[in-house]
Amino acid sequence: MLTQVKPLRLPISNGNFKNNEVVLDTPVVLAPMAGITNAAFRRLCREQGAGLFVSEMVTARALIERREETFRLIKPGVGETPRSIQLYAVDPVVLGKAVDLLGSENLADHIDLNFGCPVPKVTRRGGGAALPYKRRLFSAIVEAAITAASKYGIPVTVKMRVGIDSDHQTFLESAKSAADLGVAWVALHARTAAQLYEGKSDWSKITELVEHLAPTGVPVLGNGDIWSGLDAINMISQTGCAGVVVGRGCLGRPWLFADLVAAFNGEQSRVNPNLFEVRKVMLRHGQLLVEYFENEDRAMRNIRKHMAWYLKGFSVPREIRSSLGMVSSLDEMEKLLSGVSDQPYPQAVGDAPRGRSSHGRPVSLPDGWLNDPDEFATITIDDAISGG
């Protein structure tokens, strides 16, 4: 392991782990991504290397209402441990109940709280990345989660953006308050909500946060624009963060986790599968999704969006590409993929940004939201949101 990289320790004392902790030798976390990081995709990533793999986000309210789909979303994959669940909440009482449910029914080993969602229908109500601006509500939410989770020995972490926009940066204050309340780490996506996914994330914000939280001893995980193992090493050496959170870089490239492990071990060689190897991963992904959804139609609808990511940069006939984007069965997928010819991994294109890259725009907020950060805001609607 490179000297600047230390194992990341997550204290979990719910009786499921030796020495009451999980040690991530490679300090890498799969970012929660709604619609992507289901148990099937997490398994593909897990098989590639060490790390922690966070579920798709679920809302605390849906959990306490015991919605069937929500329970499927939090169901761990085969052999999945630790079970890491991301929750979204805007109401401390609802969140406390949701965490209590997860703890008392032994459904989670780690809970991450999402404060980074930039979607207008969420921020317009004061949720997601808008919420930390109301510092009292933010603290109450984190405290409710920690109070409930500590009864069951489950660590709580938070994931946030830099703030609403460059004039309303909340990360230093809210991260410090979360650290003082006892979170196990703070993950920072180094963009504001106004930036959405525009341009390059500003890793200097991660450095600032590392320095700001140093007196608390709470680790900072850096997030934003890790497309290769080398990017992760660079982020850690530039910012001093304790680990990295990887999102879009592994879309269509679950083997990025193997590349990350190799890079952290100081190996020079890259993990670059040829097209036939990629084809195998695609078919396995499809099979795992069928098992996960117990429904081939839903599985195929889910995997369609992954096709372009898997094939990015490879030379594949246009008809095969477009048919894969509408594929409706595993058999059809296999037949279509039998029409591609083997070729080396197109590394330059493979390491290029992929997934969302939306341009920034002003953040929609409730009327008067920015008037008083000390107001104890209440938000009642916490439903129908999808990721950050």
Ligand X SMILES: Cc1cc2nc3c(=O)[nH]c(=O)nc-3n(C[C@H](O)[C@H](O)[C@H](O)COP(=O)(O)O)c2cc1C
Residues of this chain that interact with ligand X (CB under 6 A) are 31-36, 57, 86, 114, 116, 159, 189, 223-226, 246-249, 355-356, 387-388
Closest contact distance (angstroms) between CB of 29 and ligand X is: 9
Closest contact distance (angstroms) between CB of 388 and ligand X is: 3
Q: Which is nearer to ligand X, 33 or 218 (CB)?
A: 33
Distance set, CA 263 to CA 220, 229, 236 (Å):
20, 5, 12
Closest contact distance (angstroms) between CB of 245 and ligand X is: 6
How far apart are the C-alpha atoms of 175 and 184, rounded to whole Å? Answer: 11
Positions marked active-site: 117
How far apart are the C-alpha atoms of 12 and 4, rounded to whole Å? Answer: 25
Closest contact distance (angstroms) between CB of 58 and ligand X is: 9
Give me the residue label for tokens 């982020």. 235
Q: Which two tokens stand for residue 108?
A: 């989670």
Amino acid at residue number 166:
S
Q: Which is nearer to ligand X, 157 or 340 (CB)?
A: 157
CA angle, 187 as apex, 237 and 11 as ends, to 5°? Answer: 95
Amino acid at residue number 366:
P
Q: Which is nearer to ligand X, 83 or 279 (CB)?
A: 83
92 close to 61: Cβ distance less than 8 angstroms: no
Q: Which is nearer to ligand X, 336 or 385 (CB)?
A: 385
For residue 298, how far is the Cα from the chain centroid?
22
Count the Cβ atoms, other than its own, within 10 Å of residue 10.
20
Closest contact distance (angstroms) between CB of 315 and ligand X is: 26
Q: Name the DSSP letter for residue 220.
A: E
87 DSSP β-pair partners: 58, 113
Q: Which is nearer to ligand X, 271 or 275 (CB)?
A: 271
Residue nearest to ligand X (CB): 387
Distance set, CA 327 to CA 182, 333, 355 (Å):
47, 6, 20
